[in-house]
Amino acid sequence: MDVGVWVLKRKIFILWLVICFFTGLSSAVNLQVTLHISGAVSGDIVIELYPDKAPITVANFINYAKSGFYNGLIFHRVIDGFMIQGGGYNANLVKKTAGPAIINESFNHLSNLRGTIAMARTTYADTATSEFFINLVNNTFLNYDSIIYNYYTGQPHAQIGYCVFGEVVSEMNVVDSIAAVATDSNDVPVNDVIIQSASVTLDLPICQEKLEGDIDGDCDVDEADIMKFAIQWLNPKCVGCYSADFSKDGEVDFTDFAKMVSNWLDCNSATGCN
């Protein structure tokens, strides 16, 4: 790296470190919802949501949680080695009337890996409402894929997939305990596993539009993002894997810095962000 460029980067980095220090900033994290479980299994499942990857799906899930819709519903489908599903039926296996269906955001390419939460739906793509499932193993066959081939005919067709919108970040052992309960021939637990309540334990904005430069996902571009950008800009060892590579050219450089500054100026103007 050219010595002059390195010195310039250091100066910019130090400048923003000073700004961040005096503004008392802290790193933002994603929204979190806690499912309080009772019945055959008890405990809390903490789920971190990804509004930057699935804003419509996350907003939908948050609305159900805040309204109390999930309170008293059960995990009505449990298949060990696959997934646990809930959010639709009460203890009498009566389906609760949900809101309108949402579009399927599986095109975000988030993978149905162990511990992730995804929306349940019918065989049609845009039919998810309130029901969700938590993957017990890596169910990558549920992922979005633009083209797959029919096993019998060899003909290509679209694989829409199931939308992942978050991940269990605490108490996965509670999920595994639910997976281990006895079930009947319809995969319904013999003894109810109840979602006593679902609470939003960390409430943050849901960004309908992802701004270039909003690295921490708080719907604006501020000094915290500049600091994160600077850290990635100074580290040349991770070419191609940066969240600050807005131009998608495999590195964090002046092009990305210009994009960030433009939105940073907008977000800190009198009119604010978009």
> Are residue 55 and residue 169 in the same domain, yes or no?
yes
Residue whose C-alpha is closest to residue 225's, from 199, 207, 202: 207
> Are residue 216 and residue 140 in the same domain, yes or no?
no
> Are residue 162 and residue 195 in the same domain, yes or no?
yes
Query: What is the pLDDT at residue 23?
Result: 41
- Where residue 151 falls among pLDDT bands split at 50, 70, 90? low
CA distance 236 to 241: 11
Mean pLDDT across the chain? 81
- Residue type at position 205: P
Mean pLDDT, residues 91-105 taken together: 95
User: Any residues with CB less than 8 A from the CB of 213 and at least 6 apart, and which?
Assistant: 221, 225, 229, 244, 246, 259, 260, 261, 262, 263, 264
pLDDT digits (tens, 9 = 90+) for 40-74: 999 999 999 998 889 899 999 999 999 999 999 99
DSSP string for 54-94: -HHHHHHHHHHHHHTTTTTEEEEEEETTTEEEESSB-TT-P
User: Any residues with CB less than 8 A from the CB of 129 and at least 6 apart, and which?
Assistant: 88, 98, 99, 100, 101, 102
- Where residue 268 falls among pLDDT bands split at 50, 70, 90? low
If one compares 197 and 6, the residue with the highest pLDDT of the two is 197
Let me know if residue 160 belongs to a domain: yes
Query: What is the pLDDT at residue 31?
Result: 85
Share of the chain above pLDDT 90, in %: 51
Angle 3-23/223-234 helices, nearest 10 degrees? 150
Query: Which CATH number do you get for residue 134?
Result: 2.40.100.10
User: Is pLDDT above 60 for 17?
Assistant: no
In angstroms, how far is the first alpha carbon of the chain from the final one? Answer: 37
> Are residue 70 and residue 186 in the same domain, yes or no?
yes
User: Is pLDDT above 90 for 39?
Assistant: yes
User: Is pLDDT above 80 for 136?
Assistant: yes
Report residue 263 as tokens. 């939105």
- Where residue 75 falls among pLDDT bands split at 50, 70, 90? very high
> Are residue 119 and residue 240 in the same domain, yes or no?
no
pLDDT digits (tens, 9 = 90+) for 194-249: 999 999 987 665 665 566 667 666 676 776 777 777 777 676 655 555 677 777 77
Let me know if residue 272 belongs to a domain: no
If one compares 39 and 150, the residue with the highest pLDDT of the two is 39
> Are residue 138 and residue 176 in the same domain, yes or no?
yes
185, 202, 219: which is the final residue of a domain?
202
DSSP string for 225-240: HHHHHHHHHH-GGGTT
> Are residue 189 and residue 258 in the same domain, yes or no?
no
CA distance 24 to 198: 32
Contact of 50 with 174, CB cutoff 8 Å: no
Of 89-98, 117-126, 146-155, 167-176, the least confident: 146-155
Give the chain's domain count. Answer: 2
150, 172, 202: which is the final residue of a domain?
202
Query: What is the pLDDT at residue 274?
Result: 52
Of 8-12, 151-155, 254-258, the least confident: 8-12
Contact of 192 with 74, CB cutoff 8 Å: yes
Let me know if residue 274 belongs to a domain: no
CA distance 53 to 9: 30
Let me know if residue 273 belongs to a domain: no
Query: What is the pLDDT at residue 245?
Result: 72
> Are residue 213 and residue 146 in the same domain, yes or no?
no
Residue recorded with tokens 């309960």: 181
- Where residue 148 falls among pLDDT bands split at 50, 70, 90? low
Let me know if residue 89 belongs to a domain: yes
Query: What is the pLDDT at residue 87?
Result: 97
CA distance 62 to 128: 14
> Are residue 62 and residue 154 in the same domain, yes or no?
yes
> Are residue 126 and residue 243 in the same domain, yes or no?
no
pLDDT digits (tens, 9 = 90+) for 174-184: 999 999 999 99
Query: What is the pLDDT at residue 76?
Result: 97
Q: Quote the pTM value.
A: 0.66
> Are residue 20 and residue 129 in the same domain, yes or no?
no
154, 176, 202: which is the final residue of a domain?
202
> Are residue 104 and residue 168 in the same domain, yes or no?
yes
Which residues constitute the domain of residue 252? 3-27+209-267
- Residue 186: count other Cβ atoms within 10 Å of its Cβ: 8
Helices (H), 90-218: 172-179
Mean pLDDT, residues 98-110 taken together: 93
